A and B are shown apart, each in its own frame.
Chain A
Amino acid sequence: MTDFKVQHRDGEGVSILDLKGYLDAHTAPDLETAFQKLLNDRKFNIVVNCRDLSYISSAGLGVFMAYIEDVRKNKGDIKLTNMSPKVYNVFDLLGFPILYEIYKDEKEAIVKFRNAQKA
């Protein structure tokens, strides 16, 4: 069975989700639950750290699409960081880099949120 974990960390006004393992049709609902919980708690500044994400399928990408509008409507954003080239390739193939901000490192994404809050 494929293994996938999503863990939530708090980064001072920014919520960080650490993804680990295989994100596919089978595990996509787990990520959905995590996003839903953040939205219920009205946390809209979200960084998704993909450092330990070994695979992502379209169903996994679908979850990001399902929440991005709601998050942005609430003046928040979903920023993605620390992708392996293999995972980035899937995002790239499906045209996600024009829809999402993708950073090499989590810190850059957090700084972006901070600057936006100051502004």
Chain B
Amino acid sequence: MNRALRPASRPSRVARSVGEDAAADLLPLLEFSTIVNSSLDLEFILNTVLRTLMGKLLVARGVLLLRQADNALEVIAAKGVDASILKRTIDVPRIPRVLRMRADLERNAHPLTPFLREHDLHAVIPILSQHQTVGCVLLGDRPNRAGYSAVEKRLVQSVVNLSGSAIEKGVIIAQVRDANRNLDRKIQELNTLFDLGKEFNIGLDMERVVKLISFALMGQVGVKSYAICLKDETSMRLAASRLVDAESVNGLLKELCAVERAARVHDLLRHRTLRFAAANLLQSGIQVVVPMQLQNTTKGLLMVGERMRGGAYTHADLEFLSSLGNLAIIAIENARLFRAELEKQHLEDELKIAREIQQGLLPECLPEIPGFDIAAVNVSSKTVGGDYYDLIRRTPMEYVVAIGDVSGKGSPAALLMSNVQAALRALAPESRTLSETTGRINDLTCANTKGAGKFITFFWGILDVATATLRYVNAGHNPPMLRRADGSIERLEEGGMILGVFPTHQPYAEASVILRPGDLLVLFTDGVSEAMNPRSEELTEERLEEIVRDCGSDDAATVIARIQDAVQQHIEGAPQSDDITLVVLRAVPR
């Protein structure tokens, strides 16, 4: 193509008249014009312009710059100079509107001169399209520093003028092509989000969500290194990462929660409070931090390093990363809620089992005991403690009364209590002393707890109806209250160690009391005496004693009702934290 215009060689031609010279050059000019104007390929057009001019004038250096959207001049084509000059931009607000030589421009200190000097360029030819300068061609010196003749100057300007509209057209087509490609990329981004959204909707576990995010980061964004961090109840943690130095990034997570929107780490260097974290991130190769937000709260962070294909992260990239993060955090939150719901369900199932075990332990109906008015109640709390009471006929004239409380809650407590009940029911009919039987129950319980830290407070006694005598052992339980008819209160404390901690070495002590008509015996668990109000104040055993003292000649059911009322009054609507169990015996005149 550059042969289309032959160099206007021999200086003798310069001497010819202008008209003659123009006519001689007309045909090649026309040919050149046809070639550049029939092409849509900007690169081809620009290279043809440069080659033509350089061939025509025998110059060894040529650079072509075009005005960009941001008004900077960018090097689009270059020949005979280092290729690294391509894409360089310079800030030159005005280009001369006619061909000018470097010497002229230097006199006026034109902003182009440093660039011209740097690359040893001597002529500036404006590219005009619709009377606007859209760029310029810069050319090196002629061979032997021959300078540009007037004719040559005119020829050069003509060539450039002829290509002006072709260049402009090529620029527009290149822009359309770029825009199309950007659009395709945007569509691809949307496809990615759609693809993930579809998958997230299936309701996945968290590990899979995190894996899909990492695939999207690597596939769509093309990152080599990344970190996905998620916040649990207390802190931000790395959920997955591909980092050289995950440890040092881990230490920065708390600070990075303050990042409000997707940001280039480089920009965060200017941030007042985040600049140290940003400097550390850059050292770990992280280039962008993206908060994953749900209702304006940061629930996680995406961090990405350099891309495999290189290039800085653009605003559009940050937007995509934000969309990805926000889409993912919804899926992660759903997975978290789903898991929590499962756990809750599991816990509730377990409590239901515990409640069933516990209710199964309690007597369905109380036996009639001649000479005694009896009542009992067990109100289990939401979490189900390990309370237990029992009333069994041992012989026609003897009844077993028992109350106990297992440490801990839920199924383990209920199961242990069922062991104690089984032991009591099996051993009580045998003709051992209470002390011996209690020792056996303790040993059996120890074998069951196996040092797991569980224990049972237990009170039991045998009531001989004929003599109205209660023989009892108290194994560490809250001492039952015996209100005498005269209003005095005795506590039944005799016994020994709680059950289930150490095998029996020292026999349990036993004691007996006679229940005379009018006497009132109240067995209770700590759910009563430690019932708490919203200010965490307990009811206390002192207060319970007062209530019992006030019960005068009330029947057993009324005593229970009065104690329950007092508890309700005390807790002021606070939730019941432990089981409440009461067994009441009133000796009545026969």
Contacts and interface: CB of A to CB of B under 8 A. Distances in A.
Given A59-B212, A99-B309, A65 B222 contact: yes
Contacts of A24: 195, 199
B219 A60 contact: yes
Interface string A71-111: 00000000000000000011001111011000000000000
Contacts of A89: 184
B372 to A, nearest CB: 71
Contacts of B219: 57-65, 94
A25 interface: yes
Contacts, number: 81
Interface in A23-56: 24-26, 28-29
B321 to A, nearest CB: 13
Given A58-B195, A59-B196, A94 B222 contact: yes
B505 to A, nearest CB: 60
A93 B308 contact: no
A64 B214 CA distance: 12
A87 to B, nearest CB: 12
Contacts of A29: 208, 211
A65 B215 CA distance: 8
B222 A57 contact: no
A59 B309 contact: no
B218 interface: yes
Contacts of B198: 25-26
Contacts of B156: none
B367 to A, nearest CB: 65
Nearest to A89: B184
Nearest to B217: A62
Interface string B306-339: 0011000000000000000000000000000000
Nearest to A100: B308
Looking at B181, B216, B218, B309, the one whose CB has the most chain A CB atoms below 10 A away is B218
A93 B195 CA distance: 17
Interface stretch (B89-97, B185-193, B356-364, B428-436): B185-193
Given A24-B195, A25-B212, A58-B188, A66 B218 contact: yes
B308 A62 contact: no
A35 to B, nearest CB: 12
A58 B224 contact: no
A62 B199 contact: no
B220 interface: yes
B191 A58 contact: yes
A59 B184 contact: no
Contacts of A62: 214-220
Interface of A: 24-26, 28-29, 57-66, 69, 89-90, 93-96, 98-99
Nearest 4 Cβ contacts at the A-B interface: A62-B215, A62-B219, A61-B219, A65-B218
Given A58-B192, A59-B192, 18 more contacts: A25-B195, A25-B196, A25-B199, A25-B216, A26-B202, A57-B195, A58-B191, A59-B215, A59-B219, A62-B214, A62-B220, A65-B218, A65-B219, A90-B188, A93-B184, A94-B222, A95-B309, A99-B308
15 contacts: A24-B199, A26-B199, A58-B188, A58-B191, A58-B215, A59-B216, A61-B215, A65-B222, A65-B223, A69-B224, A93-B181, A95-B309, A98-B309, A99-B308, A99-B309
Interface of B: 181, 184-185, 188, 191-192, 195-196, 198-199, 202, 208, 211-212, 214-220, 222-224, 308-309
